Amino acid sequence: MKKGCKYGTHRVIEPAGTLPQPALRLDNNMEIYDNELLIDVKTLNIDSASYTQIRQSCGGDAQKMKDLILSIVAERGKMQNPVTGSGGMLIGTIKEIGEQFPDKKIKVGDTIATLVSLSLTPLKINKIVHLDPSSDQVDVQAQAILFASGIYAILPPDFPEKLALAALDVAGAPAQVDRLVKEGDTVCIIGGGGKSGILCCYQAMKNVGPTGRVIVVEYSKENARRIADMNLAHHVIVADATNVMDVYHKVIAITGERGCDVTINNVNVPNTEMTSILITKGQGTIYFFSMATSFTKAALGAEGVGKDINLIVGNGYAKGHANLTLNILRESEEIRNLFEKIYI
């Protein structure tokens, strides 16, 4: 076997000298290097911002969405939406293990979920078996490569594969909430009704305790009602998060001029950066989990309104994030039932 770089630089075709995520094109030849895993892929979980953009650009037509996904992978050697720059993750079974792959406990035939982005994962799709425009899980006949530095989880026996995939796709969000939110905080979760938002609501409610408050801003009336019915927030605001001043006035009516200690942004559409900034107190914290975020707009926007705020990039990896997220589904029968209804 050929010797590979642990970070996958040996797979970069263009531009030379960069790493796989920012690269424009990867080598998706499925002959593995000595430190790689070869995976037979069952399902891609395309990230929400990317899937929303693909669906909108294709007018919700399933065949056009399939064709677009296939064209992206054919051009780039990976599933990286050229508009959002984001990817997603996958589940599959291990087909081959390079002799220098660092984890010696795994074996051929193990079913795993990759916990690194599809935007850096060499991928070759032979066929899209099933695509539903309303679900970001796409069943495929495909193969993928995981680098030595890539993280993954062996799927637990107490979860159906697609349920585990749905949860692990956004595992970084509730894990970061657990780090950032403390007892007594006032927290606002923008986009609280989606997959990551629900998990964040649960963790925030757990962390703020009896003296804190959790506020949700949600565009969908149905999702907002669901949050209220499941008691996952103290206050639920139905509003368009791109309408900055409308959301600002509605949140400030609850918090007072001080605003929120922590804001978690989970939306899958652009132009919600200033909404997050205005509702957050000085020296508070915003966690931008959304891959639709423009970090230029966030940084310069905060400066422009004189807000000294901690702006955190939505790193999808946090130590222990997989176990924390799966444990939410073990603790909350309501959330597990909801996810099973949507994703299985």
One DSSP character per residue, 155-199 reads: PPTTS-HHHHHHHHTTTHHHHHHHHH--TT-EEEEETTTSHHHHH
What letter would DSSP give residue 29?
-
- Strands 186-190 and 260-265 come out as parallel
Q: What percent of the chain has pLDDT over 90?
A: 92
**325 CB-contact burial (10 Å; exposed 0-12 / middle 13-18 / buried 19+):** buried
pLDDT at 121: 98
Q: What is the pLDDT of residues 126-174, one digit of tens each?
A: 999 999 999 999 999 999 999 999 999 999 989 999 999 999 989 999 9
Q: What is the mean pLDDT of residues 93-114?
A: 95
Q: Band of the pLDDT at 292, cuts 50, 70, 90?
A: confident
Q: Does residue 339 have a pLDDT over 80?
A: yes
Query: Contact 324/174 with Cβ under 8 angstroms?
Result: yes
The two tokens of residue 169 are 């796709």
CA distance 150 to 121: 9
pLDDT higher than 90, residue 104: no
The mean pLDDT of 238-257, rounded to a whole number, is 98
CATH class of the 172-338 domain in this structure? alpha beta
Mean pLDDT of the chain: 96
CA distances from 265 to 199, 307, 312, 314, 339 (A): 13, 17, 10, 9, 20
pLDDT digits (tens, 9 = 90+) for 187-201: 999 999 989 999 999
Task: Check whether 47 has a pLDDT greater than 80.
Answer: yes
Residue 342 pLDDT: 86
* pLDDT for res 291: 85
pLDDT of residue 314: 86
Indicate the pTM of the whole model: 0.88
Domain-wise residue ranges, the chain:
9-155, 172-338
The pLDDT tens digits of the residues spanning 14-23 come to: 999 999 999 9
Q: How much is the pLDDT for 290?
A: 87
Q: Which amino acid is at 175?
A: A
